[in-house]
Homo-oligomer: A and B are copies of this chain.
Amino acid sequence: MDTNSTTQHTPSQPTNLINCQTCRMSNLCLPLAIDAQELYKLDELIRHSNPLQPRETIFSSGTPFTSIYAVRSGSVKSFFIDPDNHEQITGFYLPGEIFGWDGIAEDQYQTTAIALETSSVCEIPYDKLEQLSDTLPEIKRHVMKLISREINSDQQFIALLAGFSAQQKLASLILSFSDRMARQKRSPTRLWLPMSRIEISNYLGLTIETVSRVFGRLHKNNILKVNKREVEILDKKRLENLTTTSGN
């Protein structure tokens, strides 16, 4: 399974038909100004694994850090288990998004990541990525931007948790999903949420009942059409207003 990262860039034996060259998401996880030869080198080090079953673990908290991962299809959640055995979700990841950075600091993952649905992810061995970034400064710079972006989104989320009401939190989550669907060139108004109410409420620091009630209210006000995990945004303008303090 381990392909040597030689300096050659022959397409190499196709352990898998999947590769970055043809990946619809590569413009998201790799928006690089690198040429085809360089893309081959990158592609060689990435392991395109078989599809993951729903709930299947990608990595576990406390195990040795080896790789970062990009979502290819489906979706992933990452979470802590507190000492008192309470799960706290720290992020949802959609196609084109990268996760696993938390493992670098201590050489072991600090969170556990599992697939929310049938998903496929690209495994990027970190040592190989480091080597490659030595010769390709473009890659190195891009990696730094990706990791900085993770910090930014975490801090945005801190602001959300610290200062927002239940309605503001939920509206922000829906809008975030909408934006990320748009980045995937998918409909930004007709969403299918890959996570349960329990997971939404855990992530937002609320209870399932509150999440359900807020969804109900947004539905009744014709801002969303909500049916279980199907959410349609009917009035994006008003939804955005709800995320501001002034917006009721």
A interface list, Cβ under 8 A from B: 80, 82-84, 86, 88, 90-91, 101-106, 110-111, 130, 134, 137, 140-141, 144-152, 154-159, 161-163, 202-205, 244-246
**Bound form: Cα–Cα A25–B162 in Å:** 31
> Measured between C-beta atoms, what is the minimum distance from A211 to chain B in Å?
13
**Bound form: Cα–Cα A202–B161 in Å:** 11
A105 with B162: in contact, given A82-B245, A84-B246 (CB under 8 Å)? no
CB-based contact A88/B148 at 8 Å: no
CB-based contact B149/A105 at 8 Å: yes
User: Which residue of B105, B145, B203, B245 contacts A105 across the interface (Cβ within 8 Å)?
Assistant: B145
User: Which residue of B106, B162, B202, B244 contacts A203 across the interface (Cβ within 8 Å)?
Assistant: B162
Given contacts A82-B245, A158-B158, 14 further A-B contacts (CB under 8 A): A84-B244, A84-B245, A88-B159, A90-B159, A101-B151, A102-B152, A104-B145, A105-B145, A111-B155, A134-B137, A151-B151, A154-B155, A161-B162, A161-B205
**Bound form: Cα–Cα A141–B134 in Å:** 12
User: Which residue of B134, B154, B161 contacts A151 across the interface (Cβ within 8 Å)?
Assistant: B154
CB-based contact B203/A148 at 8 Å: no
Inter-chain contacts of A144 with B (CB < 8 A):
104, 147
With most chain B CB atoms within 10 A of its CB, the pick from A84, A103, A204 is A84
CB-based contact B148/A86 at 8 Å: no
CB-based contact B88/A162 at 8 Å: yes
> Measured between C-beta atoms, what is the minimum distance from A64 to chain B in Å?
14
Q: What are 5 A-B interface contacts by the 8 Å CB criterion?
A: A80-B155, A84-B244, A102-B152, A104-B148, A161-B162
CB-based contact B151/A202 at 8 Å: no
**Bound form: Cα–Cα A159–B154 in Å:** 11
> Measured between C-beta atoms, what is the minimum distance from A215 to chain B in Å?
19
CB-based contact A158/B245 at 8 Å: no
Closest residue of chain B to A149 (Cβ to Cβ) is: B105
Inter-chain contacts of A203 with B (CB < 8 A):
162
Inter-chain contacts of A151 with B (CB < 8 A):
101-102, 105, 147, 150-151, 154
CB-based contact B148/A101 at 8 Å: yes
CB-based contact B147/A148 at 8 Å: yes
**Bound form: Cα–Cα A173–B17 in Å:** 50
Closest residue of chain B to A162 (Cβ to Cβ) is: B205
> Measured between C-beta atoms, what is the minimum distance from A24 to chain B in Å?
23
